[in-house]
Amino acid sequence: MTRAGAAIRSHREALLLAFFAAFAIAPLALFANDADVRTLSLIFASIVLEALPFMLLGALAGGLIEAFVPRERLMSLLPKRDLPTILIAAGMGILFPVCECAVVPVVKRLTRKGLPPFAAIAYLLGAPIVNPIVAMSTSLAYRPYSGVAFLRCAMGYCIAVTVALFMWSLFRDGGIFLPYRHEAGKGLECTCPHCSCETAADGASLSLRLLASFRHGSDDFLATGHYLVIGAFIAALSQTYIDRNFFSGLAEYPFLAPAGMIVLAVLLNLCSESDAFVAASFRNLTPFSAQMAFMLIGPMFDLKLLLMYRELFTGRAIVSLALLILVSVSCAALLLGG
């Protein structure tokens, strides 16, 4: 993209963001004391407060990876062939449990350190589901049926691997990630003396590396945080104004129930550690396959994630990823019985 083209794109984005900011502040400015706006405030603040610390942790973890993990070290730890790397990456959430808010900045830094793109996708999709905290909360929500947690983890793992493999075949020649902004010399430039960005390899002192970690972390947070806020606001709007009972009404139509629950999961932006409890509240209202679809799609593809992916993937890659996830989850729901 030319410099002029990039400037136009940046201005267009700025206008859209400014428009969103004006739209989002309007209810507060006009109807601050209205009961629904108070509920909106509560839910919006709740989603952001819940996700923010995890996102900060993810940004810091990404910064630590950037400053402390040399590319060669990471590459030496990975299998040489792609398929085993994907299979391992999809299950790495068991060892490094991260929720979907934290995983994006971590993956961003890992890919820069040489994690193959398709292993990165497998980790991105698998980690928020295939992890012990999510398994525990799911089994708690569905007690005494602890098999539900196992089923969720197994299906999440299979979908992460499947989508990564499809992305591998679709984007074998590249074009999956955005050019790294530090390299492109625009956006949030990394200006610390050791950053091109090989602080770890340069034998810098511990304090310098730590400082660089926090610097990278703050850059990542400032670059990605507004996507979280936008997603959280839209989710809060849907939670405040859309009647969830409408989705339970879809239970009469076997194929519509999973579709309805998928839409609900995308709109609600719930954390993967708590969404099982919301899914379980639909027991007796929707078929189990629809509840499972809800639990599978949310941690992989909800509104805030869709926006956060813009910091990582090209537009074409996001569309492909979204379609593949939707198809895989729908197939999983069909397997479970419509």
Partner 1 sequence: MIRSFVDRWWRFFVLFCWMFGLAGVLKNERYLSFLRPEFGVVLGIGAYILLGFLAALLAERNPSPFDMKRAATSLILLLPIAYLANAQGASLDASALRRRPMPASLFSPELAAGMSPLPATSGASPYTQRPTLLDLYAHPRMYSGKKVSVIGIVHRNEEICRESGRNVALLFRFLITCCAADATPLGVLVSADVPAGIGENAWAEVEGRFMVYRDDGMYVPVLEDVSVRSAEAPERPYLY
8 A C-beta contact, residue 55 and residue 223: no
Report, in Å, the least distance between residue 183 CB and partner 1: 17
In the complex with partner 1, the residue whose CB is nearer, 269 or 330, is 269
> Quick one: which of 107, 46, 98, 104 has its CA closest to 232?
46
- Rule CB under 8 A: is residue 237 a binding residue for partner 1? no
To partner 1, the closest distance from the beta carbon of 325 in angstroms equals 22
- Backbone angles phi and psi of 183, in degrees to 5: -70, -35
Return the residues of window 158-197 that contact partner 1 according to CB under 8 A.
Answer: 188-189, 191-192
Q: How far is the CB of 106 from partner 1 (least distance, A)?
A: 14
Near partner 1 by CB under 8 A: residue from 4, 35, 77, 206: 35
Question: DSSP assignment, residue 130?
Answer: S
Contact by Cβ (8 Å): 329, 297: yes
For partner 1, the closer of residues 105 and 117 by Cβ is 105
Q: What is the dihedral of CA 39, 41, 44, 49, to 10 degrees?
A: -120
DSSP state of 298: T
Specify the residue, 146 or 281, whose C-beta has the smaller distance to partner 1.
281
φ, ψ at 133 (rounded to 5°): -70, -40
Q: CA-CA distance, 95 to 21, in Å (whole number)?
A: 38
- Binds partner 1 (CB under 8 A): choice among 1, 6, 18, 184: 18
Query: What are the b/e assignments for 98-115, b being 16+ CB within 10 Å?
Result: bbbbbbbbbbbbbbbbeb
Q: Which of 233, 288, 294, 313 binds partner 1 (CB under 8 A)?
A: 233
Q: How far is the CB of 173 from partner 1 (least distance, A)?
A: 30
Interface with partner 1, residue 265, by CB under 8 A: no
- From the list 1, 8, 26, 53, which residue makes contact with partner 1 (rule: CB under 8 A)? 53
Minimum CB–partner distance for residue 240 and partner 1 (Å): 8
Q: By C-beta, is 76 or 191 nearer to partner 1?
A: 191
Site string for partner 1, 271-310 (x = CB under 8 A): x-xxx-xx--xxxxx-------------------------
Residue 334 CB, nearest approach to partner 1 (Å): 24
Q: Which of 56, 119, 200, 317 binds partner 1 (CB under 8 A)?
A: 56
Residue 338 to residue 86: CA distance in whole angstroms:
29
Write out the H or E segment, with its range, that includes residue 14: helix 3-31
Of the candidates 119, 177, 115, the one whose C-alpha atom is nearest the C-alpha of residue 320 is 177
Nearer to partner 1, 84 or 196 (CB): 196
Q: Taking CB under 8 A as the criterion, which residues in 105-144 touch partner 1?
A: 137, 141
Q: How many binding residues for partner 1 (CB under 8 A)?
A: 79
Give the separation between CA 289 and CA 307, rounded to whole angstroms.
27
Nearer to partner 1 among residue 78 and residue 259 (C-beta):
259
Nearest to 270 by CA among 40, 24, 21, 47: 47
Distance from C-alpha of 259 to C-alpha of 247, rounded to nearest angstrom: 9
Told to check if 57 binds partner 1 by CB under 8 A, we report yes
